[in-house]
Amino acid sequence: MQHHSLSPIGCIHHMVRHRSMLRQLIYRDVMSRYQGSALGFLWAFAVPLMMLAVYSFVFGVIFQARFGNETAQTSDVNFALTLFCGLLVHGFCAECLTRAPLLMVQHPSYVKKIIFPLELLPVMMISSTAVHLVINITVLLIGIIATTHMLPWTMMYLPLILIPMMLFMVGISWFLASLGVFMRDIGQITGLCSTLLLFLSPVFYPIERLPAHYQLFMRLNPLTPTIEAVRAVLLEGRAPDMTLLSIYMLVSLVVAWGGYAWFQRTRSAFADVM
């Protein structure tokens, strides 16, 4: 049985060593989504805008949901921007959750190649999803400029907010990619979890609306610190809580290493199961 390194340094070394292959995989994955479609890459902009319009109408107009940062003149616009901050964070995590269990199953030819660095596939998926996250953020920034005619200087904190989330999700993706080989129905569970996360995260409502004894559980949700920090730096012009971000980064590093170690320990059995 081939031994696979569990060291996070080894993981970084593999990504650097195979960076050209990783770039090709990311490009192919991004472009394959729109291959043959009439609008092509424009769908990357159209889909989030359409989803934002639907959610804004349902929750902002029909249910009259509010976050508390709206004025009479900017009520609908501010609600839409605040909502979009939550949707783009959830959308990134939801796509990772739903795609990760299928990564090995959908690439059996890679699994059966002894020399192929399988650990790159979850990284490729995270990076490809991050491309669409950047597109969504660009749409959000355009909306902010159209509304306020300026961008807050606190947007410089955005990378510090997003990196811990991406590290957390790549760890979860390594774990789910391995689990999906042995439990083919795990994809159904993660699909349900992503839907639950949409309503159990402060996407449609501020966390302060909840009773105090529920707020603690909401703050344990890994999406909560990212959603609140993105809103703070982009919409409120406030710097994020650096102590909270540091804790989130530490937890994300542990989760990333744990997911990678699990993936490396179990990958030798992938070919036999498939």
Average pLDDT score over residue span 146-172: 94
Tokens 């909502």 correspond to 83
Q: Is the pLDDT of residue 46 over 90?
A: no
Model's pTM, two decimal places?
0.89
What's the rounded Cα separation, in Å, for the pair 273 and 260?
20
Average pLDDT score over residue span 142-150: 87
Q: Which tens digit of pLDDT belongs to each residue from 77-89?
A: 788 889 899 999 9
Which is nearest to 258 in space by CA: 3, 1, 11? Answer: 11
Tokens found for residue 196: 């639950």
CA 23 to chain centre: 19
What single string gives the DSSP state of each residue in 18-84?
THHHHHHHHHHHHHHTTTT-SSGGGHHHHHHHHHHHHHIIIIIIIS----S---TTTHHHHHHHHHH
Return the C-alpha torsion angle 147, 151, 156, 159, nearest 10. Answer: 30
Q: Which tens digit of pLDDT belongs to each residue from 234-262?
A: 999 999 999 999 999 999 999 999 999 99
| Distant-in-sequence, close-in-space partners of 24: CB < 8 Å, separation ≥ 6 | none
Share of the chain above pLDDT 70, in %: 93
What's the rounded Cα separation, in Å, for the pair 53 and 46?
11
Inter-residue contact 204 to 83 (CB < 8 Å): yes
Inter-residue contact 90 to 224 (CB < 8 Å): no
Tokens found for residue 82: 């605040």
What's the rounded Cα separation, in Å, for the pair 99 and 174?
11
Inter-residue contact 236 to 151 (CB < 8 Å): no
Share of the chain above pLDDT 90, in %: 54
Q: Which tens digit of pLDDT belongs to each residue from 117-144?
A: 899 999 999 999 999 999 999 989 988 8
The stretches of 71-222 forming alpha helices (DSSP H) are 75-99, 108-111, 120-148, 158-182, 186-200, 212-219
Tokens found for residue 198: 């949409």
Inter-residue contact 184 to 105 (CB < 8 Å): yes
pLDDT at 268: 86
Tokens found for residue 176: 């789910």
